[in-house]
Structure 1
Amino acid sequence: MIDRHIEVEIATLRTEFPIVAILGPRQSGKTTLARKLFAEYDYVSLEDIDHREFAKSDPRGFLARFQSGVIFDEVQRVPDLISYLQTHVDTLREPGRIVITGSHNFLLMEQITQSLAGRVGIAKLLPFSAHEMRGLNLDLSDILFCGGYPRIYDQHIRPETFYKNYIATYIEKDIRQIKQITKMDGFLTFLRILAGRTGQELNLSSISEQCGVVHGTVREWISVLEASFLIYRLPPYHKNYNKRIVKNPKVYFTDTGLVCSLLGIRDKDQLDYHFLKGALFETFVVTELLKSNFNSGEQFGLYFWRDNHRKEIDVILESGMKQSGIEIKAGKTVRSDAFTGLEYWRSLAKADDPTTYLVYAGEESYERNGTHVVGWSSLHEQLIQTAL
């Protein structure tokens, strides 16, 4: 079993809050992790119809059965149960006695905000990071094509088979549960169009026109994907340095294997020639940063910066008073013009004494032009750990 970096954060949360919530997309490893870290607890899956009906019809009687540690898996299946947990946990003297897992951020966060404020510590679990999989000896093409969903590696499932079924089963099931979307063909068309825009500025009007649906529908579908942890919106940086800046977020899928499947990429060798190779590598790097942030309890902020002259920094990482500008290049060699954007931004932000990084698809890490050049496989050690 591959150890998850978020285990340390969850161990801390269980000492601080009566309830620990492990949220994330379906099949990201939430149940496995909960049962590993809370092995002595009772386990109740609310996917089981008997448990679900009991919890719905008599929530107080259902909760009264569990006076010691318990895991409630897939709690979004009975969202009203969360309201009853408020009074139930107040009778428990020890912290961390209830663990809930769920796949729908939208449904759960709404309930948690209203009912469990101050009583729940939240951990967000995405698929494996490259650093978590370092013992598998995968190359970059393997990781981009296969993605990070645990079942691909634990059960040796072909990526193309896994994602085909993931899209057909889990996405359609979850989407229908969050919103009453009747035209699933239209939604899946939208999903594939959005996959082709990973790493780009989110332009709802353009997507709406390409999909042939109204602007409001696209906005709703975006919120559904974000609620299911399948996409992430990277916000623009708030400092403008006396420049007019872009105010729309950029959109990234949280798993490159899913993007490859949606784009019809059927072999990792196709990646070397695919027109979205750069966007896929950028998506990989951004999601590695996002996973690290979730795993550490969201200790830093992630942004991008672009002004009206199209000067851009792919990612700005802000940790306390420290700022780091990150440029991402999919090539295996680094050209001299790759530093132009970083040097421009560094001149604007010089009062903040920022650090700059260039992440590329090569292996070596070194310093050049005042910038830390980081090979993709050293992202965790050479960037994430040093930037905090």
Structure 2
Amino acid sequence: MPDLIPRHAQALVNDALADTRVILVNGARQSGKSTLARLATAQNPATIMRLLDDPVTLLAAQDDPTSFVDHDGLMVIDEVQLAPDLLRPIKLKVDLNTRPGQFILTGSSRVLALRSLPDALPGRMEIIELWPLSQGEISGGPDRFIDAAFAHGSQIDHTSEWRRKDYLARAVVGGFPEAIRRTDRRRAAFFDSYLATLIERDVLELASIERRGEMFRLLSLLAGRVGNLLVPGTLAGQSGIPRTTLTRYLELLASVFLIKSVPAWSSNITQRAVGTRKLAFVDTGVACHLIGQDLARLNDPGGAAGPIIENLVLMELARQLTWSDQRARLSHFRTKDGVEVDAVLETPDGRVVGIEVKAGANVRTEDLRGLRLLADTVGDQFIAGYVLYTGQQTLPFGDKIRAVPLDALWRVAP
């Protein structure tokens, strides 16, 4: 893997620098935020870099926040969540001078969720989320399936050379640059270190945890439930953690970009939908590590291939939505009698694309039930339904529904 992989988010940062006073690049630790900030400012030699991971720099920021942010050009403040008191003098500075492109902030937790946050920057700051590498960024693909689906409806036609094992190999590795570079054994060491740092440092920056061992046990439990509904009461019973504490732990894990909940899709024209969110891990490599599934075990008949592949697709869609031209909301659809669609994309004007995910190379009639129900439910607003599967051909299944090889997700363009 090359040392620097072009990121789709760099164009977003460049655009924001032209018309926004403060840009916050927010995302998971080790996802490349610092590198992205350096690349975005490479053509500006007057940029001031402030790295709060350096103890002396952090002490200066805490001792005199106003002087720390005083500058005339562009300042990058890395890991700003370490010194949230900087945000008040930043707000004052950009209120007095409305020139765009004054600050790039990076954070490894959802900075705006910090309870100690002195003030936010509404109307002054654009937030750009940076996820671990997408499959398109790793492979050099366009990563434009969402735009293609809404532009062309059910007419996407894609042929693939990939087989099921190829997708599982990508899922086991995940998208962290450091994990991709390593051998299997060394990758496991990276994930162990990553998770320990995340809990011992990042989570503790947001809140105190009474028993850290509970958090690690909860992580393993959650990794074994990817793709399932996120029901705090059920998880509390399985983990032995009180429900109120468990709910707080889930919020913390989402705040440090370890897990993500996918909301349920609902419409006023159907009363059959379940309103519970679905659980996903931001990185499938982390999830596989937590449940002890390498490529061989994942590919076994009793392995976790199905939920892990579904998780992979959900998070690729979530990544694409941060840069796609078509604005849309990601959700899932499930009825009270168990009919479901793994991912639903809905635009602000109500157009809908449904996506079902299959880890196998065959598509059965029952695999189409959810998409057909969704199509009947939304009527003319239904643009297309796709079954993303590990087969190699595009196959039509009636009006507006097709099965397409899963790597179309990052290989097709509008």
Q: Same fold (TM over 0.5)?
A: yes
Distance 2:382 2:325 in 1: 25
Q: Which residue of 1 aligns with 2:134?
A: 129
Instruction: Tell me, yes or no, if structure 1 residue 76 matches structure 2 residue 105.
Output: no
What is the CA–CA distance in structure 2 between the aligned matches of 1:50 and 1:111, rounded to whole Å?
22
1:150 alignment counterpart: 177
Give 2:28's match in structure 1, choosing from 1, 25, 28. 25
**Shift, 1:156, TM fit:** 6.3
Whole-angstrom distance in 1 between the partners of 2:27 and 2:74: 22
Do residues 301 (structure 1) and 329 (structure 2) align? yes
Give the counterpart of 2:59 among 53, 65, 79. Answer: 53
Contact 2:61 2:83 in 1 (8 A): yes
Separation in structure 1 between the aligned mates of residue 313 and residue 118 of structure 2, nearest angstrom:
31
Q: Distance in 2 between matches of 1:259 and 1:278?
A: 13
Give the Å deviation of 1:106: 5.0
Is contact 2:85–2:118 with CA below 8 Å preserved after alignment? no
Cα distance 1:217–1:109, how it changes in 2: closer, same or farther (>3 A)? closer
Amino acid in structure 2 at the alignment position of 1:358: V
Root-mean-square deviation (Å): 2.2
Preserved CA contact (<8 Å) 1:67 1:92: no
- 1:86-140 deviations in whole A, cap 9, x for unaligned? 1112344531121000011055577889431111111000000111111499931
CA pair 113-366 structure 1, distance change in 2 beyond 3 A:
farther
Name the structure, 1 or 2, with higher relative contact order (CA <8 Å, separation 6+): 2
Counterpart residue number, 2:243: 215
Q: CA separation in 2, counterparts of 1:377 and 1:86? A: 43
Aligned to 1:9: 12
CA distance in 1 between partners of 2:393 and 2:84 (Å) = 48
- Taking structure 1 as the reference length, the TM-score comes to 0.92
Check the 8 A contact 2:79/2:105 in 1, yes or no. Answer: yes
Within-5 A mapping of 1:182-201: 182-201=210-229
Mean alpha-carbon deviation: is it higher for 368-377 or for 302-311? Answer: 368-377
Give TM-score, length-normalised by structure 2.
0.87
Written as runs of structure 1 = structure 2, the 5 A alignment for 1:78-157 is 78-92=83-97, 94-107=99-112, 114-135=119-140, 139-154=166-181
Listed as ranges, the gaps of 5+ residues in structure 2 are: 142-161
1:180 aligns with 2:208: yes
For 2:31 and 2:201, the matched residues in 1 are separated by 16
Matches within 5 A, 1:350-365: 350-365=379-394
CA distance in 1, matches of 2:26, 2:272: 37
Letter of the structure 2 residue corresponding to residue 339 of structure 1: L
Distance 1:298 1:213, change over 3 A: farther
Alpha carbons of structure 1 residues 45 and 84: separation in structure 2 relative to 1, 3 Å: same
Structure 1's 98 and 155: CA in aligned 2 closer, same or farther, altered over 3 A? farther
1:36 aligns with 2:39: yes
Give 3-state SS (helix, strand or coil) of 1:324's partner: strand
Q: CA deviation at 1:191?
A: 0.9
SS of match in other structure, 1:251: strand
Structure 1, 144-153 or 89-98: larger mean CA deviation: 89-98
> Residues 60 and 129 (structure 1 numbering): CA distance in 2 closer, same or farther, change over 3 Å?
same
Report SS of the residue matched to 1:139.
Answer: helix
The amino acid of 2:404's aligned partner reads V
Partner secondary structure for residue 84 of structure 2: coil
Deviations 1:205-231 (A, max 9, x none): 111011111100110000001111111
CA contact (8 A) 1:123 1:297 kept: no
Supply the distance in 1 between the matched residues of 2:335 and 2:118 (Cα, whole angstroms).
Answer: 35
